[in-house]
Structure 1
């Protein structure tokens, strides 16, 4: 459709090439005259009853042709070489409707610029989503649903890998676009902000792990001393540590110290 037997200008040839690169399939669908009311009435406001029935029937055929489900299964919709979902396609259509609501038809470059802007926004959002999805997968859970600890070195290694993947996706998607500005820096800042929230989770998990270790050491030491004090032996006192640790795991440090002090005092008094 965009081929020409004439010798087009460089601008026209470039425009044809850019339009061709935006779609993997370009077809035409001819529509009849929309009716006399539309053609002669200068105050026509888009009222559907004023549009000829013949035209409306063909519009119905056109919409079914474009959005036919079996066709979409075989041939995913692409705009600017990128796959688009049904929701994204709706956004494109709404944008095109707004363009054609004026008194004059938009120039082809204007349409192309709008398409590239929407495609660039999609590439940006997809890159952010890719990074976030990949990073979420490094946080696994145990059988009780608790998040497993993620080591800091592993977190940073995954972050650098997934950040690069997201940046590459954005650059590959936008490499052929003529954009007013490069948003690579904005994308990196956006991802680093998300990374900061993930890193905060990592730090919390590590802190909780360290607190549990200190708690076990505290309980073991206290029970060992209590065992010596009442003459039951250090081994017997330490043997009770796992059960006691589980019991006090939900307490604050102050509550634990107070409980162990009272426990030790009671045992010594009983002696």
Structure 2
């Protein structure tokens, strides 16, 4: 009888141990890191992009050019915001922590932003289920959402430029500052110098232009000016400028007129 009970006890312990092992194995299979962090991930077609701790891609929204989140309601169902406080964010050592800030959404929740662009995930069905880790299937959707990157040369914004008219797509720099063209310029030649250039500072030329995928990077180039201002970026051959009275406030378009105008690219 004693041997029978010993056998049952040994069998029960073995079954318990197997169950415990299986449970641990299942937990290992589905475990995710819940510590909110951001890092760089390398992609074959889009270069280095921002992802969270679970390698889920982060996105910018061109409609947020003013630095506020303008993606709410159904938009936020499809593009869930990266909620949290930048002060609590674990940031990879190869990223500039100063670039991450916190905004407050219309519903009072805090959202993390990078270079002033609020950050989002992509839920293809709008059901809260995010795209697979490592996927970038939200890139370029609606010509409005783009993978978040640290090295964009220009970005594509969208907002109303002229009161009473529809919103338009137009070029801004990586900080959301508006870029303008000058009607009196010729292809590859700037006719804005002296006092004009003081009011309309040039957008400096850059090598290795990085743009959202819906833009043609070959349309961007640089010219050497004839004054001492150096190299100037062009789009479609037309030199690009800032406007002093925009006061380096993202989304400002106070310089838009028939003479100096926002650049609406062909999409």
TM-score interval for Structure 1 and Structure 2 normalised by the shorter chain: under 0.3
Structure in which a larger fraction of residues adopt helix: 1
Greater radius of gyration (CA): 1
